[in-house]
């Protein structure tokens, strides 16, 4: 948190009290959230001031998380079978004197008999005079070396890197902080394909819809930097390539946390300084991570609408397996003089063809996309309160009808005449790290398997295990 004099701190504290109260009634109100962590099937994130949010499915959040120590802007990482919780002892004190502490817990579930925090240990400090403020920790376990790294700091000077001992959570013996960025806050590290990425928040916080928070990134081949942005500017010179900025009514994203669900499916946890739709309060946000040209960027939360569902495998579109109905062919006669007026041709309408379709269950194909009624799908948030990390389940119906996409017990996919809301008619949509999408039924009837919509050959849709390395498993949504 940054740029507050005493009056602003008072306002913020008063607001935080209010927000914490509201957070307990089932809304995702939080500031400076830790990276969302999963524990025994539930999701947890902790925020400034103590406490935190819990979600059974990653979509609906409520209060109840427990983090002692107060202070601000914690982070969480699972190492082995324990969780290391890191936090700043202050919320960015006016004198910039601060400390970063770490503590362990076997579980994040406060109702578990194993729930007990270890005594916190100090791993970094700022003395109030140095060009650093020891708050806003972010932690990464290097997958190539097993070494545990922590960055910390705020707008007051430098962001610093230290190494922790992954066994104790304490500062590695003899380690000295290294400056890796300036005028950032809420930093964290990500490793990918030989690069270390330093993600950090620029702008100012804590002023509701006026907050200018945004997340930027630089990268380096060495953990100690220099971290350069896409134009070669060092983050020690203020450099950084945009990862996520304000979108629509969601103002001022900050405090990036990286969540890898599986190969090709990555999310970021952030907070928005203000969600105008939720009273302008600071809320938890979860967005897909897309990697484009070697840089992470926020993907899109799926938007309801009517789409062609395009198979990445060949580029064909998902369609109802019904007879193709020809359209009238316009005048040809190339090269012949013709001064007839040019008139538009009406597109084929649902009413033109639906009378010829069966009324019961109809199968599916993937075929040449011709912008025909049997190829257009309307996707809306299902009237269902459950979801998954970052999104709600959707219903997918043929545009203009209630005919719904559904999974079958034999792992195929069909359409049923009407949407009834049963779980096999609910669909999870995740944007993947390459920008394409995965489509999964909430359940496959009589099966515990987690299957996704895939293309078998070019033309047959079916359900199978998701494979990020195969374009068979990937889809795009195109506006028809």
Partner 1 sequence: MNRKFNYVLLFISFIVLSGLQLGALTAFAQGPGQRLPLPPIPLKGDTTHTLSKHFTTGSTTKKAPDANGFIQRWLVLEPVKKDIARNNIFTDNYLKTTFSADNFSSDYTVVPRNGSTVNVGNQELKWYALDSKTFNFNLYHFTYAINKPKYGILVWLVTVIDCPEEINDVRMAAGCNSGSMWWLNGQEAMMLSGDRDMIADNVTSTRLRLKKGKNIIRGAVINGPGMANFCVRFLDEKGVPIKNISLSYE
Binding site for partner 1 (CB under 8 A): 2-8, 10-11, 13-14, 17-18, 20-21, 24, 49-51, 63-64, 66-71, 89-90, 97-99, 110, 120, 122, 125-131, 155-157, 182-183, 202-204, 207, 210, 212, 233, 237-240
| 262 is an active site residue | no
| 130 is an active site residue | no
Which is nearer to partner 1, 179 or 430 (by Cβ)?
179
Q: How far is the CB of 26 from partner 1 (least distance, A)?
A: 12
Distance (Å, rounded) from C-alpha 149 to C-alpha 155?
A: 20
Q: How far is the CB of 24 from partner 1 (least distance, A)?
A: 4
Which is nearer to partner 1, 14 or 277 (by Cβ)?
14
Q: How far is the CB of 129 from partner 1 (least distance, A)?
A: 5
Which is nearer to partner 1, 243 or 382 (by Cβ)?
243
> Is the distance from CB of 226 to CB of 240 less than 8 angstroms?
no
Which is nearer to partner 1, 181 or 396 (by Cβ)?
181
Q: How far is the CB of 217 from partner 1 (least distance, A)?
A: 14
Q: How far is the CB of 233 from partner 1 (least distance, A)?
A: 6
Q: How far is the CB of 244 from partner 1 (least distance, A)?
A: 17
Residue 461, SS3 per DSSP: strand
Tokens representing residue 47 in the block: 């925020």
- Active-site option among 179, 185, 207, 273: 185
59 — phi, psi (to 5°)?
-120, -45
Eight-class DSSP state of 351? H
| CA 177 distance to own-chain centroid | 30
> Comparing C-alpha atoms, which of 76, 72, 62 is closest to residue 107?
76
Q: How far is the CB of 280 from partner 1 (least distance, A)?
A: 16
- Active-site option among 32, 136, 266, 273: 32
Which is nearer to partner 1, 3 or 247 (by Cβ)?
3
Which is nearer to partner 1, 71 or 367 (by Cβ)?
71
Which is nearer to partner 1, 129 or 334 (by Cβ)?
129
Known catalytic residues are 32, 185
């Amino acid at each position: 948190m940054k740029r507050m004099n005493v009056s602003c701190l008072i306002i913020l504290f008063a607001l935080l009290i209010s927000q914490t109260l509201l957070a307990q009634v089932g809304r995702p109100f939080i500031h400076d959230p830790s990276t969302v962590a999963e524990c025994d099937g539930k999701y947890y994130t902790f925020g400034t001031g103590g406490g935190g949010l819990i979600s059974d499915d990653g979509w609906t959040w409520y209060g109840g998380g427990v983090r002692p120590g107060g202070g601000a802007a914690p982070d969480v990482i699972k190492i082995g079978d324990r969780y290391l919780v890191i936090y700043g002892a202050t919320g960015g004190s006016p004198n910039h004197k601060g400390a970063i502490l770490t503590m362990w817990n076997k579980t994040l579930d406060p109702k578990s008999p194993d729930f007990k925090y270890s005594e916190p240990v100090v791993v970094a400090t700022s003395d109030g005079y140095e060009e650093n403020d020891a708050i806003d920790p972010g932690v990464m376990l290097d997958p190539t070396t097993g070494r545990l790294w922590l960055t910390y700091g705020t707008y007051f000077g430098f962001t610093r890197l230290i190494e922790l001992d992954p066994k104790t959570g304490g500062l590695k013996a003899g380690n000295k902080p290294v400056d890796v960025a300036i005028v950032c806050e809420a930093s964290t590290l990500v490793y990918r394909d030989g690069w270390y990425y330093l993600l950090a928040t620029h702008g100012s916080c804590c002023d509701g819809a006026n907050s200018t928070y945004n997340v930027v990134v630089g990268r380096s081949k060495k953990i100690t930097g220099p971290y350069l942005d896409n134009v070669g500017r060092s983050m020690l010179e203020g450099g950084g390539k945009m990862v996520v900025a304000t979108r629509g009514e969601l103002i001022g994203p900050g405090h990036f946390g990286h969540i890898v669900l599986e190969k090709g499916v990555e999310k970021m946890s952030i907070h928005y300084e203000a969600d105008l739709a939720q009273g302008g309060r600071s809320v938890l946000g979860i967005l897909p991570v897309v990697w484009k040209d070697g840089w992470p960027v926020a993907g899109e939360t799926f938007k309801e609408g009517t789409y062609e569902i395009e198979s990445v495998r060949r580029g064909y579109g998902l369609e109802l397996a019904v007879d193709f109905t020809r359209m009238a062919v316009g005048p040809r006669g190339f090269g012949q003089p013709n001064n007839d007026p040019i008139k538009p041709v009406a597109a084929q309408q649902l009413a033109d063809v639906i009378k010829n379709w069966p009324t019961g269950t109809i199968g599916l194909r993937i075929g040449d996309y011709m912008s025909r009624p049997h190829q257009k799908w309307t996707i809306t948030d299902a009237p269902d309160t459950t979801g998954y990390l970052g999104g709600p389940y959707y219903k997918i119906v043929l545009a203009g009808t209630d005919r719904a996409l559904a999974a079958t017990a034999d792992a195929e996919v069909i359409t049923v005449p009407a949407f009834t809301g049963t779980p096999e008619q609910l669909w999870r949509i995740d944007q993947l790290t390459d920008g394409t999408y995965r489509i999964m039924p909430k359940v496959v009837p009589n099966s515990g398997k987690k299957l996704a919509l895939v293309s078998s050959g070019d033309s047959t849709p079916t359900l199978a295990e998701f494979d990020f390395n195969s374009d068979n498993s990937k889809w795009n949504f195109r506006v028809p």
